[in-house]
Structures are given as C-alpha cells and as structure tokens.
Amino acid sequence: MAGYPNDQSMAKGAIPVWIAGNSGSSVNPTPPTPVPATIAGSGSWASGIMPANGAKALAASATLSQAGSLTIQRYIDAAGTVPIGMPVVAVLSATVANTVAVNDGLPFASWQVTVANTSGSTGNLTGVVLLQTV
C-alpha cells in the first residue's frame, strides 16, 4: 500500500486503508477527427471513435452559435460498431454552453461525441471539451 495518500502500512499493527476515489484520474482525450470552427446548417461533427481506456464516466461540453444537440454514444467494441445503451443527448441553444455526461456503470470499450447543427444556418462551434474519468 506504499505510495497511497493515507498509507498506514508502516504503523505497528495497522491495517492498510485506501480511500476510494484517490486512484481515479481524468483524461481530456484528443478526438481523432479535429473539432471544426464551424458546422454547416443541418450538418454535424463527430469526434471519431475514442478508446475508453477503462473510463467509468464521460462528459462533453460545447457551445454552438445555432440551435443543435450534443450527444455521447458508447460502444461495446473497440471499433465502435455495436452501440451499448442509448445515446445521451443534451440540447444546445444558440450561443449557450451545455454539457452531457454519462455515469451509469455500463461497461464500454469506446465512445464518440457528436455535435449536430439543427438550424439551416452555419454555426460557430467553440468550447468543445471532452473528459473521461477512471
């Protein structure tokens, strides 16, 4: 247990204790498909399939200058061909940042984020942040 933040393994008769959550870490993955500056009217951007790498929770945020949606889809396979669970969707109001998060305990091997522009006009896409936590 040496190296843990509350290591008591050197105390006489102590039982090593580890506080749950101290080993967790967060990663801001780089999407395989770069984030564009704009999305055409009725168009979308998909991050590409990203490996879960043991992630247990996911989040994504974005701001679009037009109405749209922000979606996380998880997959049971690494190639991203077999969806697991329903996509988790947040509505994007024009120029208002929004976040979508998944933390339901379902196992998954890969995931993808999609931002859709549901208006007929080109929208500016900013503030895209992806996060996975193990």
pLDDT digits 0-9 by tens, 24-52: 678 999 999 999 999 999 999 999 999 99
Per-residue b or e along 111-129, where b marks 16 or more CB atoms closer than 10 Å to that residue's CB: bbbbbbbbbeeebebeebe
Alpha carbon distances (Å) from 23 to 19, 83, 108 = 9, 28, 20
- 10 — pLDDT class (breaks 50, 70, 90): low
Contacts of residue 63, defined as CB under 8 A and 6 or more positions apart, other chains included, come to: 92, 95, 96, 97, 98, 125, 126, 127
Q: What pTM was estimated for this model as a whole? A: 0.82
- The predicted structure's pLDDT at residue 61: 97
